[in-house]
Amino acid sequence: MKKIITLAILLLLVLGCSKPADEPVDEPPPPPLPPPPEPEIMDLSLTSPAFEDGQPIPQKYTCWGDNANPPLKIDNIPTGTQSLALIMDDPDAPSGTWVHWLVWNMDPGTTDIKEDHYFINEGKNSWYESKYGGPCPPSGTHRYFFKLYALDEQLNLPSGTQKKHLEGAMKGHILGQGELIGTVSK
C-alpha cells in the first residue's frame, strides 16, 4: 500500500511538473535587426565666382588683402535639408589643420554667400575668433578646403563652438556634402 501511494505521488508530481503538449517550447529570442543603412550622402555643388576649384584664391580674400570671405555659390541642396554648415580649413599648416571659418544653421534655401558675409552662428577659428580668417600661409603653397554640408536638422550649438564639436554634432545628420578647394602661396 505504501508503494502504491508513493507511486501515485510520484506520478502526480511528474504529470504536474510537465508542460502540456500544446504549450509552446521556450525558444531563444530572434537576433536583433541590423541598424538601418546610413542615408546616401548626395553631392552638393559649391563654387565661387572669385576662383575655380583647385586654383589660387585672390589676394583680396587673404590676410594680405581685405581678409574677407570669398563669394560662394551653392546648388543641388537635397530635399529634407533643414540647415547648412560650412567648414574652411588648411590641412597643409605646419602645426596641423588650421581652421579658418566655421558656420552652421545657414538657411537651407541659401544659394549665395556674399563676399565679406557675417553669420549669426560662427564658431572659433584657429585664431580663437568667431569669424572668417583669410588664408595666410607662412611659406609655400597651401590648400584651403571649403566644405559644405546639408543637414537634416538645426544644430543646437553655442556661439564660439570649435570644429571638433561642430563635426560631432553633424555626425549622422549629413544629407549632402560639397567641396571647393583654393590655393594660396607665399
139 has pLDDT over 90: yes
Distance CA 43, CA 180 (A): 12
Mean pLDDT across 126-150: 97
pLDDT score recorded for residue 28: 77
Q: What is the mean pLDDT of the chain?
A: 90
Burial (CB < 10 A; 0-12, 13-18, 19+), residue 107, is exposed
Confidence of residue 27 (pLDDT cuts 50, 70, 90): confident
pLDDT score recorded for residue 24: 59
pLDDT score recorded for residue 2: 63
Q: Which of 32-46, 56-70, 150-164 has the lowest mean pLDDT?
A: 32-46
Q: How many residues does the chain have?
A: 186
Q: Which of 6-20, 42-56, 157-171 has the lowest mean pLDDT?
A: 6-20
Question: 125 near 102, Cβ under 8 Å?
Answer: yes
Residue 20 phi, psi (nearest 5): -65, 155
Per-residue exposure over 41-56, b if at least 16 CB sit within 10 Å of its own CB, e if not: ebebebbbebbeeeee
Distance CA 37, CA 102 (A): 29
- From the list 100, 185, 92, the residue with the least C-alpha distance to 141 is 185
Angstrom CA distances, 149 to 6, 33, 135, 163, stand at 80, 30, 21, 13
Residue type, 39: P
pLDDT score recorded for residue 21: 54
Q: How large a percentage of the chain has pLDDT more than 70?
A: 84
71 has pLDDT over 70: yes
Give residue-wise pLDDT tens across range 101-136. Answer: 999 999 999 999 999 999 999 999 999 999 999 999
Distance CA 143, CA 51 (A): 13
Confidence of residue 82 (pLDDT cuts 50, 70, 90): very high
- From the list 174, 168, 179, the residue with the least C-alpha distance to 40 is 174
Residue 26 phi, psi (nearest 5): -60, 125
